[in-house]
Amino acid sequence: MRSVFVGISVAVLLTGIVSAQREMQPNSWYSIAPGQLRWTKNPDGTAQETAVLFGDRAKHEMFGYAVKWPPRSTRKGHTHPEDRYAVVVSGTFYHGRGSNFDEAKLEKRIAGAFFTEPAGVAHFGAAKDEPVILYFFGTGPDRTDVVEK
């Protein structure tokens, strides 16, 4: 039953993404090949880089963006004001709940895995021995609020 729910959730999410893409690119196909992503360093000084897929996460609209994690990188405890949905595109991602990074709480998420980050729930993440790419989707305005100093 759970796999049916996840499958339906992903289908609903992807339907929304297609609708948002049509709004962004009226009357045209919209596609980004991996080599076309424009990666930028995070302004907060973390090791991760981001690339916009569609939308603007600072505005009240649907958005999608990619996050590239270099090997042996971590992200301390933080929250987001809105629900976010993610897919592990490549590599193995390690994700945990809590206000402070805790290696013992990390859950392994392999390529192809779908997961959520509910609004206001503190979490943290890591890439271990390989690079990781994640795709995130949600509705803005969105931001990252650091809770672990």
CATH number for the domain spanning 68: value is 2.60.120.10
Dihedral angle computed from the Cα positions of residues 12, 87, 51 and 46, in that order, rounded to the nearest 10 degrees: 130
Amino acid at site 89: V
- Domain presence at residue 23: no
CA distance 25 to 27: 6
The answer to whether position 72 is within a domain reads yes
- Over range 84-110, report the average pLDDT: 98
pLDDT reported for residue 34: 84
In a domain, 16, yes or no: no
Question: Percent of the chain scored above 70 by pLDDT?
Answer: 81
Residue 4 has pLDDT above 60, yes or no: no
Q: What is the pLDDT of residues 18-57, one digit of tens each?
A: 444 444 544 567 788 888 899 999 878 889 999 999 999 9
Token pair in block for residue 95: 């994700």
CA angle 3–103–87, rounded 5-degree value: 35
Whether 12 is in a domain gets the answer no
Number of domains in the chain: 1
Residue 93 falls within a domain, yes or no? yes
Residue 62: which domain range? 32-146
State the Cα–Cα distance between residues 133 and 69, nearest whole angstrom. 6
Q: CA-to-CA distance for 42 and 75, rounded, in angstroms?
A: 12
Residue with the larger pLDDT of the pair 106 and 4: 106
DSSP state of 105: G
> Does residue 73 sit in helix, strand or coil?
strand
Q: What percent of the chain has pLDDT over 90?
A: 72
Residue 47 lies in a domain: yes
In a domain, 21, yes or no: no
